[in-house]
Structures are given as structure tokens and as C-alpha cells.
Structure 1
């Protein structure tokens, strides 16, 4: 259930235009979070990558709990991608800038993903909600 809640929170940060349209005072809240957005994204990126690795290491769960395993993997992929997008500045500074090729590749990935951030954020909200429901149904 915690995975779903955190994915929903990350998705809300990634899709500020949707939040601003629904709540007029959300802009103030988003402005308070903005200085920490890079760190939030960086932490979620690392957590998402770790979740992907854990899912792959526990691939045996696919035969026992296929819907939960696929849900968990999908949630972690979305979390890693949204975290990468939000924390790109810090990821570039700490990880990608060590090699010119890594920095270039990271910039290309970021340019491809940036136009889809809103859609991915909405997808993250849906997957996060499903993760919460699935945790009650399958665990």
C-alpha cells in the first residue's frame, strides 16, 4: 500500500497543472515543494530502480501472484521514470556528469520524456490507486 501512496504523491508533484486547475491554493503548496523537487525526484528515482531490481530478483512471484507482481513492477517503472524527470538536475550532477557520454544520453532521454510528463503523471495516479486496491485484494 505504501508504494501506491508514494506513487500518487509523486504523480501529484509531476502534474502540477492538473492540481492547479482543481485547487486554487495548490500553487502555494507547490511553490513550497519546488526547492525540494530535485531531491524528491532523486529519492524516488533510486527507490523505483531498487523496486525494479527487487521485482526482477523475485521473478518467481510472477507464477504465484502474477497480477500483484506486474502491478508492482509497473508502479516501480513509473516511479523511476517520474523520479528521473523530477530529479534530473541532481541525477545529472551526481551520476551522469561523470562521463560525457552518460550526460549526453541522459539529456536525450530527458528530452524524449519531458513532453510526456503530464500523461505519465496521470498514469502514475491511476497505477498508484490500483496498487492500493491490489494490496488489499492480493496481499
Structure 2
């Protein structure tokens, strides 16, 4: 089983943002993060989950995703995202990321666990640190094309 801890951050919402990810399985441990010059918190929360799942090398993995994002967890667990797909994402944001998420999500057996943010959960706190650090490091920012092109 793989544990995937995720968090996203955005200053200004929209504004500079980033995500932080921890992957853990047995003795294996990996941290991932990236910052973006202009994005939203929800996009970073979702991109953290996507990036963690995309980092898995083999399909068919049992994955437990720990997130403090009700947006991401409820959209999946309550089936909202499937309704959004059926309706062509009419009036919904982040279609690009949700479609990317569904491609990788369907390759694994994924279960979500909500953790309260900023409540002392060690891995969630570390992911928050990674996300915030990435959002502040302007020399390493990427462009969130899905957000910036939609905002034009």
C-alpha cells in the first residue's frame, strides 16, 4: 500500500501557488513540490494529488490519499466529478486538471482520507511547508497554463 500525502497553497487566490507531496511505502519515502506564478488554491490541491499518482511507476496500486481539501475529496467521493464530466464541465472550473486526474485515478485503487489542515498532522504540515516554499520561490515558478489561459 502507498500513502500519498498532499497539500496545495496559493497566496492571493489567484496568486503565486504551489503544491507539496509525500509518497511513502514501506522504507521508501519521496517528497515532491512545485511552484507556479499565478494559480488558485483548489488547483494546487488537485495538482498535488495528480502529481503524486503520476509518480507511481506501476498501475493497479492500492493508494491512500491524505488531503485537507474538501474540494478534491468531496468531488471524488461524492461522485460530483462524474456529473461534471457528463455535463461537459458546464460552469465548472479546472476541467483540464480533473480530466488529467481521472486518467491517472482510474489506473489505481484509490481511497481518500480527510485530515484537518494546520492541526499538527506531521505529513500534512510537511506538505504545507513544501507547498508554501514552492509558492515563494519565484526563480523556480512554472506557468499554470490551464489557469492563465482560462483567465484571459
TM-score of the aligned structures, taking structure 2 as reference length: 0.29
The structure with the larger Rg is 1
Q: Which protein, 1 or 2, shows the higher relative CO under an 8 Å CA cutoff with sep ≥ 6?
A: 1
Structure 1 or 2: more strand by fraction: 2
TM-score of the aligned structures, taking structure 1 as reference length: 0.31
